[in-house]
Amino acid sequence: MRILHVSDSHLGYSAYHKIAENGLNQREVDVYNSFKQFVDYAIEKKPDLIIHSGDFFDSVRPTNRALFFALQQLLKISDAEIPFIILSGNHETPKMRETGSVFRLFEHIPYIYPIYKGKLEEIEIGNAIVHAIPHCFSNEDLKKNIENVKKRENFINILVLHVGIIGIKEFRRGDFNEQIIPSGCLPIDFDYIALGHYHKATQVTENAYYAGSTEYFSFKEAGEQKGFYDVEINRKVNFIPLKVRQMINLGAIDCSLLSPEEITHEIIRRADEKGVDGKIVRIELKKIGRGKYKALNWERIKKLASSALHFEMPYEFFEMEQELRGRSKIGNLEEEWREYIASVPIGGNKKEIEELALKYLHEVSR
């Protein structure tokens, strides 16, 4: 059996302020283009099954434009008669059960199987059973759903999850609503486990894979390859790269011993070495004095940055770091209060006010 495993397309995502020729946000267009590449590949290769393991959309309420694009691509797949299972991830799953899911729009499209109801669903495709668990409404729900997964004899068994994994290595993103499971929860006797949520294509266990995202969504991902898996069950797993806009992190420059001219030169040297035209670029300035920062050759830097789609240069002022180091250690609450009250002009019985406040502090800190 041949399947395509893709994940974390985040349709509708937009960032920065560059506008494409069609008037849309350029990053939004980039995200659409990368997913269209995947769909074109799928239609050309015509696998037995496509699995999308979550975060198909970037938000619970995608724009009409994102919905229109998604429907266009799903109808292409439907017309090609390729079964396509789409799992709801943490980005598109509503926080409350009462809130409807946008995935309901796809329920009546032939060959499209949206999985979004917060519970385990089993879909039979040919000689395979796909056990699909979408993002759940609670960790307890997730645990129960995983416990309910049972291997079916005489079938190819595929598990689909959108979760972070902890074990010898950790695969998590730190999202506010991400759900995490131990690697020991992944059944070792399944034929393939399609994971979503972690944006780097990674083999987690012998039979479990994160497909990664189809585009760059954070500088944490800079330099990673973006794509999807072309899988022949129990034979081989091939990573297929997508052509996406490059995101590069030029690292940090320690500016403490450099002059403004040397800092400017180093910024330009690093940028020229990697090339920034049309790319998304980041370089960080560490321990730079305010005077040095103002004295940088901004004309040269802005000219360099203008060719990038996005060029960001966060900085850490040397003076701020020194101030933080020079601050005395914060004392306990009583000491802080005594210092504060001593510095404030108060009429009346200042001693009585001070002692009353200390009494309350003592009571709440027991």
Place of tokens 């901004």: 298
- Residue 172 and residue 221: Cα distance in Å, rounded? 13
Q: What is the pLDDT of residue 167?
A: 76
For the chain, how far is it from start to end, CA to CA, in angstroms? 64
Q: Name the nearest CA neighbour of 66 among 45, 93, 92, 84.
A: 92
Strands (E), the chain: 2-6, 49-52, 84-87, 112-115, 121-125, 128-133, 156-162, 164-166, 170-171, 180-182, 192-196, 202-205, 208-210, 227-232, 236-241, 247-254, 280-288, 310-312, 315-317
List residues bridging with 166 in a β-sheet.
Answer: 170, 182
> Would the CA dihedral through 151, 157, 162, 167 be positive or negative?
positive
Q: What is the pLDDT of residue 335?
A: 63
Joined tokens for residue 72: 């266009």
Contacts of 320 (CB under 8 A, 6+ apart): none
Q: Are strands 280-288 and 310-312 parallel, antiparallel or unpaired?
A: parallel
- Domain residue limits, the chain: 2-241, 247-325, 332-364
Contacts of 31 (CB under 8 A, 6+ apart): 9, 10, 11, 12, 13, 58, 214, 215
Q: What is the pLDDT of residue 178?
A: 87
User: Catalytic residue numbers?
Assistant: 91
Contact criterion met (CB below 8 Å) for 138 and 110: no
Q: Which CATH class is domain 2-241?
A: alpha beta
Joined tokens for residue 319: 């003076």
Task: Give the relative orientation of helices 333-343 and 350-364 as an angle to the nearest 10 degrees.
Answer: 160
Contacts of 188 (CB under 8 A, 6+ apart): 205, 206, 207
Taking phi over 0 as left and psi of -120 to 50 as alpha, with beta for the rest, 10 belongs to: left
The predicted model scores a pTM of 0.84
Alpha-helix residue ranges (DSSP H) falling in 46-118: 64-79
* Below-70 pLDDT ranges, the chain: 98, 168, 174, 176, 319-351, 358-366
**What count of other Cβ atoms lies within 10 Å of the Cβ of residue 255?**
24
Residues written for the chain: 366
Contacts of 252 (CB under 8 A, 6+ apart): 283, 284, 285, 286
